[in-house]
Structure formats: structure tokens, C-alpha cells
Amino acid sequence: MAPEGKKILTTSDDPNAQEIKDIYGLRGQVEHKLAFLRTHVPKEMKLVVIGHSIGCYISLQILKHGPELPIIRCFLLFPTIERMSESPNGKIATPLVCWFRYALYIPVYLLLKPWPVNIKSLMVRMCLRMMNLQSSSEFSLLNMLEPSCLVNVAYLASQEMMEVVKRDNETIREHLSKLTFYYGTKDAWCPKEYYEDMKRDFPEGDIRLCEKMMPHAFVLHFHREMAAMVAAWLKDDLSKVQH
């Protein structure tokens, strides 16, 4: 949802804006990121792309469809870039978001739409305490409890299950020197066998397995550790360039 007092620009509001079909679909999300980089980032600026989960698939698509962008490095964290519907979580999610998605919309609208914001806020705060999460996450969770947002989430998820099937080896091979893959030890979205397959197919690549037992959703409890790790990788890259 757009913040209060703000609106989402359309091509009629901004003549330089690129009209994107199916903006909430997977391809539309890729086009949205490409349009932002092409429109708002200076062409001479070097870019480092960091993706998490489906963001890794989007990152590879940016490399593939934006060859003119000066991307010098790309970190792919817990990468869901292949066989999503075959993963342990995918086997559960696929029937829900692909076959029963429209049935799920009914309780979402009936249960969430009538609730006042203060009731939703109370529920979110209680959930955050139970999950031992910071209250700074409240706004994001409140946003997601909007029925229209949940509908968009389910729609995007259904496309991910259907389209993220075969690994894009061609793009990976072309940009391998820029890529770092970081797989989880126990990840129900991209299990360890996906890491082993990557190591076998790209033995010269920078493909790592998490030794800290961080979960796929590291953003909930391990965001500082991951940020420090990626920062260290970037500093290491910089020191190599300087020497």
C-alpha cells in the first residue's frame, strides 16, 4: 500500500515512466526494477546487486535483460532460482497458491477488511512479541494485512511456483565471475542438494554453504550478522582491486 498522502505514479502522471504490464507478476517485478535502475540511477555509477530468496531470481533476470547496466558484483543469498515447486516448502505452497488461491481470498476479505486499524495493530504487536521481533516491523506487517496486499502476494507466489523451474545456467555462466551464491544448510526453499548441484555444475564459481545455521528468513533474527558478512565480502573485493 502507498503511504498515507502518497500515490503511485502512472504513465499519465510521469511522461518518462515506463508502462509495465502485469506489474504485480514476476515478469512485471523484474521490469519494474530494470525501469528504476535505467531511469533513476546515474549511468556512470557502478552497481552491486544483493538479492535474497526470489530476489536472487530477479537479480539474475536483471543481469540477463540489462546488459548495459554497470553491475560489477552480485550476491545471491539463499537463492530460490530453480525448482521452487519441488522444494519442501514449494510442495506445500504450490497447491495453496496455484489451485486454491481464489478460495483463500474469501476469508481474507471477510476476516481482515472489517477490522479497525487499532485491532490489527494490537494483533501485530502480540505476534511480534511471540516471535521476539522488533516493533519496527509493525508497519510492514500492518501493510501486509491489507487484503489487496495479501492478494498480490498470493498472485506473485503462484507465478513463482510455475515459472521458477529450470535454473538459468546460461546467464549464470556468462556472469559467473560477478556472482556469489550463499546457500542455507537447512533451507526448505532451496535444499542442500541444490547447493551440491550448483557446486558440481559450476566448480569454478563462488558458491558457499552457510556455516552459521542461519534460516532462509534470516531477516527476522540474523539481519545484523548477514549485513556484516556481506559488508566483509565487499571490503575484501575492494582490497583486491586496490592491490
What confidence tens digit (pLDDT) does each residue in 49-85 have?
A: 999 999 999 999 999 999 999 999 999 999 999 999 9
Rounded to two decimals, what is the model's pTM?
0.86
User: What distance, in Å, lies between the first and last C-alpha atoms of the chain?
Assistant: 47
The predicted-structure confidence for 153-169, as pLDDT tens digits, reads as follows: 999 999 999 999 999 99
Classify residue 151: in a domain, yes or no: yes
187 classed as catalytic: yes
Whether residue 61 sits in one domain with residue 172: yes
Residues near 233 by beta carbon (within 8 Å), at least 6 away in sequence:
75, 180
Cβ-defined contacts of 55-58 (< 8 Å, 24+): 56/80, 56/81, 57/26, 57/81, 57/160, 57/164, 58/29, 58/30, 58/33
Q: What is the pLDDT of residue 129?
A: 76
Q: What is the pLDDT of residue 140?
A: 67
On whether the CB atoms of residues 181 and 207 are closer than 8 A, the answer is yes
Measured CA to CA, the distance from residue 74 to residue 172 in angstroms comes to: 11
Q: Which domain holds residue 212?
A: 26-33+43-83+167-242
Per-residue pLDDT band for 234 (boundaries 50, 70, 90) equals very high
Residues near 2 by beta carbon (within 8 Å), at least 6 away in sequence:
8
Q: What is the pLDDT of residue 14?
A: 53
Whether residue 154 sits in one domain with residue 99: yes
Measured CA to CA, the distance from residue 173 to residue 205 in angstroms comes to: 9
Classify residue 11: in a domain, yes or no: no
Whether residue 154 sits in one domain with residue 96: yes
On whether the CB atoms of residues 219 and 55 are closer than 8 A, the answer is no
Total structural domains within the chain: 2
Classify residue 7: in a domain, yes or no: no
Domain final residue, candidates 160, 191, 214? 160
Per-residue pLDDT band for 203 (boundaries 50, 70, 90) equals very high
Domain final residue, candidates 130, 160, 190? 160
Per-residue pLDDT band for 148 (boundaries 50, 70, 90) equals confident
Who has greater pLDDT, 240 or 100?
Answer: 100
Measured CA to CA, the distance from residue 167 to residue 172 in angstroms comes to: 9
Domain final residue, candidates 101, 129, 160? 160
The catalytic position among 52, 85, 87, 216 is 216
Whether residue 182 sits in one domain with residue 71: yes
243 classed as catalytic: no
The catalytic position among 13, 40, 53, 197 is 53
The catalytic position among 85, 87, 158, 187 is 187
Whether residue 237 sits in one domain with residue 179: yes
> Which CATH number characterizes residue 205's domain?
3.40.50.1820
Average pLDDT, the chain: 87
Minimal CA–CA distance to 133: which of 217, 37, 67, 75?
A: 217
On whether the CB atoms of residues 76 and 51 are closer than 8 A, the answer is yes
